[in-house]
Amino acid sequence: MSLGLEKGRSSELIGLGGEHDWQLLHTCPIGQSASIATADRNGLDATYQHASNIRTMRKVHEGILFQMTPDAVSSQHAAKNLMQEEVDIDNIEALVHPHGPALVNLYFRIIHPSFPILHKEVFIEKYNRTYREIVPHLLAAVYALAVRWWAYDADLLLEEKVDEDALVRIASQSVQTAMHHPRLNTIQAGLLLLQRGRDASSADNSWTWSFTASLIGLGQHLGLHLDCIAWAIPDWEKGLRRRLAWALFIQDSFSAMVFGRPCLISMRDWAVAPLQTCDFSENSPDEVAGRDGGGSSSIENGKLLFMELAKLSTITARVLQQLYSVQALATVTEPQQVLALGKPLGNDLADLLKNLPPNLNIENLQQGRLCLSGFFHFALQATTAVLDRRMLWAIQRSPAGVDSQFAQIFRTALRQRAYNLVQLVSQLQPEHMEAFWFFAAGSCGVILGCFLALLRVTSTTLEESDELKGLMNEFEWQLRIKVRMGKWVLYTLARLKTLGWDEWKALEPDFDAIPGDRQRLGALQSNAVDTGDPAHSLLSAKNNESSSVPLQENNSATWLTEELEDLEIPWDLGGT
């Protein structure tokens, strides 16, 4: 029997450090209503009680106990305290009728393969019987997100699009009510709501961050932070729980990165093992094809993408925790300190890219298929930029200065990064842009734009400044010609303009005011022999168009690894 999706009852993990004492629960249960129900191998309660207003305890593994609460109890409490009205699921269906089945088909064709937080077989089985078997918040969230690909259904293309905003309002209201008796579908609906594109003019960051925190709290409430592999629950629910857990981790890591917040999930309280292919419930034969034969996403590539994103999110979380925590910002200030922490992180990013499955390469396009890998490469570049800028800050602020040879190597590497990220944007094709992109895409674009601007305003030579200005222009141009392909692109452009993009491009660095160490660095760079590095030849000086220099992906993530291994200088990077 399901633990997290049981009809009529919600589950709550009994924390060992909370009000309940584990030993007392075993030796002296508080009345029959609190009796411990030990689950057998199929997840059935040995002392199963489902009568209204009777709470039971369910043991799914040694040391893992859940309190099972009938909805009647939690709903009565919520009604007394909040006077919330239940959402009528028929009202949801009325908004999309008769297009509900087509929208569900679109969802599983395009979104689900790379964001597999639903159990497709269970959802479809219930939906085919009647839409009333799907909880209102999840049904509305699925419909609302699928509307974005309305034109990918041959029949819907000729119909008037349904009211997406109305669906979102209903889903949001219903989720808030469901939080009083949460199930896994509460978190599923919440995550889907968070994936909607953000509007730069009215981005509600406070709601997005606080709602993310609420979902993470609900996940802990439901035990998603624990390893469920040996629990007495159905195998399909084990896989679903693990996928949902990592979806929350991905949401937390990238939310923290783009909002400049601390990660909410601590690795000390995270026991979920890395994802494996057996955690996914579908295979290639289960793919949903479009009726016109095109515009679908590969389930197998979607699995790979989700697993790689989970790996990337753990590195992103470590970058934020080790270099951007309140304590780290106060104590890790010198370049050598940042290097000691940053180099292993950069190496992990490089290894992740080096070992990336070939199907997730940015140039791997298939006829009639959407390419799912665009966001992964974008997020990888953003994480690398966040790592790199921490060292750049340290170099700029170091009162003693840094070794000029090291600084030259570092800035050369950063210039290569800049070319790589602009080249990445230029490589994005309609097959990438039309696929499902996670919520953080627009903000990752802002981070990359700000990284280019930071490199320019800290330039040490006029040549470097001009090259970076050209890269900023090319970055902006590549986004502008793609603005109709993705809502996140408009967010990136609008947000950068609001932050000062035009001013950063117009700003001319004052080289006369550059400190001595940076002047020496500028001289080194000006006198450097041109070795054919694409950093000196990517842009055409005549027409400011980017050339066909190939993207050097390994260089885009490795953090000075090869360069510093060959450089015979002491790890103390202070200037002499």
- Out of 55, 75, 95, a domain closes at 75
- Distance separating alpha carbons of residues 118 and 252, to the nearest angstrom: 19
348-371: average pLDDT: 94
pLDDT above 80 (res 297): yes
Q: How many angstroms from the chain centroid is the CA of residue 323?
A: 19
pLDDT above 90 (res 565): no
520-542: average pLDDT: 39
pLDDT above 60 (res 92): yes
363-370: average pLDDT: 91
Sign of CA dihedral 278, 279, 281, 283: negative
- Distance separating alpha carbons of residues 484 and 323, to the nearest angstrom: 36
What are the start-end ranges of the H helices in 202-277? Answer: 205-221, 235-259
What is the predicted pLDDT for the residue at 560? 52
Q: How many domains does the chain have?
A: 3
What is the predicted pLDDT for the residue at 55? 66
- Out of 257, 286, 315, a domain closes at 286
pLDDT above 70 (res 563): no
In this structure, are 69 and 88 located in the same domain?
no
The secondary element (H helix, E strand) that includes residue 415 is helix 404-427
What are the φ and ψ backbone dihedral angles of 520, each rounded to 5 degrees? -65, -40
In this structure, are 141 and 70 located in the same domain?
no
Is residue 482 very low, low, confident or very high in pLDDT (cuts 50, 70, 90)?
Answer: very high
What is the predicted pLDDT for the residue at 429? 96
Is residue 452 very low, low, confident or very high in pLDDT (cuts 50, 70, 90)?
Answer: very high
Beta-carbon contacts of 12 under 8 Å, excluding residues fewer than 6 positions away, are 66, 67, 68, 69, 221, 222
In this structure, are 47 and 113 located in the same domain?
no
In this structure, are 193 and 249 located in the same domain?
yes
In this structure, are 538 and 437 located in the same domain?
yes
What is the predicted pLDDT for the residue at 272? 97
pLDDT above 70 (res 18): no
In this structure, are 70 and 88 located in the same domain?
no
88-93: average pLDDT: 94
In this structure, are 64 and 136 located in the same domain?
no
- DSSP count for the chain of H helices, then E strands: 23, 6
For residue 375, what are the CA distances in angstroms to 46, 55, 441?
A: 46, 44, 7
Domain range for 62: 9-75
What is the predicted pLDDT for the residue at 27? 63
